[in-house]
Amino acid sequence: METSIAASKESHNFIGREKEKSDIIKLISNKCSQQEFKVISICGMGGLGKTTLVKYVYQSQEVSAMFDKRACVTIKHPFDPNELINSLATQLDCKETVNGDRKNPGNQLSLLANYLEGNKYLIVLDDLSSITEWDTITHLFPTSVTKSRIIVTTRQENVAKHCSKVDKNIYKLEILGDRDAHSLFTEKVR
């Protein structure tokens, strides 16, 4: 089953990504496009800290206060849409889907989509690895409540572009600078 990245606890402090965290929160809450449904993609090579960054954004009080419903899952590989649906339903407390017919994924999809309909939601999908994965699950997420957001992390720029559609909603994460990398290394080995 997918694991909640929001539930994971890090013993070290958030180092070197304060600007990126602020930038992503601005993307989420952008006053100019607040009336638009948005998919925000965070992309970059493995090991850059995409998961850690998105966890801090997801857990921030500012972001938490913006949404009625929130869920944050890491995509398991090989990809299993049923496990993803179950993980989302559990985090969103959608009892009908969690207790529903697990042999009928179409029914579960419909129940989850209906549950989200009319709510302002934030969904984080960590480690999306293909366009096919996105296309399999995108219809889960109603777009009628325009202030809702989905954040996708991926290593693949083409996946980020496919999910977000708009370049301004793609955040390319770069490597840490020398000073921040040294601070992070020092903190981790303590």
For residue 74, is pLDDT > 80?
yes
Q: Domain spans of the chain?
A: 18-189
Burial class (CB in 10 A: 0-12, 13-18, 19+), 71: buried
> In this structure, what are the phi and psi dihedrals at residue 33, rounded to the nearest 5 degrees?
-115, 25
- Higher pLDDT: 25 or 107? It is 25
Query: What is residue 76's predicted lDDT score, i.e. its pLDDT?
Result: 93
For residue 10, is pLDDT > 60?
no
Confidence category of residue 180, pLDDT binned at 50, 70, 90: low
Contact present, 50 and 44 (Cβ < 8 Å): yes
- Higher pLDDT: 101 or 125? It is 125
Give the chain's end-to-end CA distance (angstroms, integer): 32
Query: What is residue 66's predicted lDDT score, i.e. its pLDDT?
Result: 92
pTM tops 0.95, yes or no:
no
Query: What is residue 50's predicted lDDT score, i.e. its pLDDT?
Result: 93
For residue 101, is pLDDT > 60?
no
Query: What is residue 47's predicted lDDT score, i.e. its pLDDT?
Result: 85
Q: Which of 82-86, 88-92, 103-107, 139-143 has the lowest mean pLDDT?
A: 103-107
Query: Is it true that the peptide bond before 78 is cis, omega within 30 degrees of 0?
Result: yes
State the CATH class of domain 18-189. Answer: alpha beta
Best CA proximity match to 56, nearest among 93, 10, 88: 10
Q: Which helix (H) or strand (E) holds 149?
A: strand 149-154
- Higher pLDDT: 136 or 32? It is 136
